[in-house]
Amino acid sequence: MRITEDQQTLLCQIVDGYAAVKEEFYYSTARGGTTIQQPSVDGETHIDYPDLEQLGSSSLLAMTPQAGVAMTGRVYPTNKGVQHVEEARRLEGIARADNAISSGSGGSRIAWDVTLPVLEAVVALYGQADAGEDVSQIQVNQRLERDNGNPDTSRAFEVLEQSGYLHGTASIDQLPGALTVVPTERALQLLTGWPADGEVALARLIGALQTQIDSTENEEEKGKVRRVLDAVQGVGENVAAEVLTKVLMGG
């Protein structure tokens, strides 16, 4: 679900207005177009009705049409709409912080060891969710015991989506990355044992070898595993993936 900047502005107005006076908005359409207004608040706002309708069909707003009158009725934000605005505002702060961090010192925040814990958290949360539920950055931060709006989580969502491990299900045009996601088949292949092609199987193998190295205290055994890892990486990823593909396919 992707909404435009104008739709995001309209959603924020309705969320903020409803929070301020706890009144539904009334929308009405006449020759001059569509307007929204709260009964106890002076002034009305001209809007594009298709934007209102799109927010309603996305379950971000709850609309109650007036019987017998076209494009007229009552509207208020749903819990999903409120959460969407809150998350978007957190990510605005993340984007500003990310720009400041990125223009400063140089450690890589898109390395695999940085993004993998986020992917593991998404897959675990998705496995626990009910059918049709997505995973938000807030949930991932809670699972990883990070502060809400953590810039590393936001950046990982963006990188993992671009790399095909996550599919964004809610976002807004003015912010990078996704608000909510679901894991793709590629992620399930990597982390949950789904049948995998050579490239994913290679990533899984390298990860397993590295984990074994990190968890092994015996230096001799650690050296043996490290030599296996070096050998796998030494032949090149393309060649190793091709070999694994043939093995998986029985070729």
Q: Nearest CA to 121 among 101, 105, 141?
A: 141
Is 162 in the same domain as 210? no
Is 131 in the same domain as 89? yes
Q: What is the pTM of this model?
A: 0.47
Is 202 in the same domain as 170? no
Is 47 in the same domain as 94? no
Average pLDDT rounded to a whole number, residues 32-51: 93
Is 237 in the same domain as 158? no
Q: Burial of 118 by CB count in 10 Å (0-12 exposed, 13-18 middle, 19+ buried)? A: buried
Cβ(110)–Cβ(154) under 8 Å? no
Domain that holds residue 139: 82-188
Is 162 in the same domain as 72? no
User: How crowded is residue 5: how many other Cβ atoms within 10 Å of its Cβ?
Assistant: 11
Q: How confident is the model at residue 173 (pLDDT cuts 50, 70, 90)?
A: low
Residue 71 has pLDDT above 80, yes or no: yes
Is 88 in the same domain as 177? yes
CA-to-CA distance for 225 and 97, rounded, in angstroms? 40
Alpha-carbon torsion 1, 155, 114, 108, what sign? positive
Q: Which one of 188, 209, 234 terminates a domain?
A: 188
Q: What CATH number does the domain containing 89 carry? A: 1.10.10
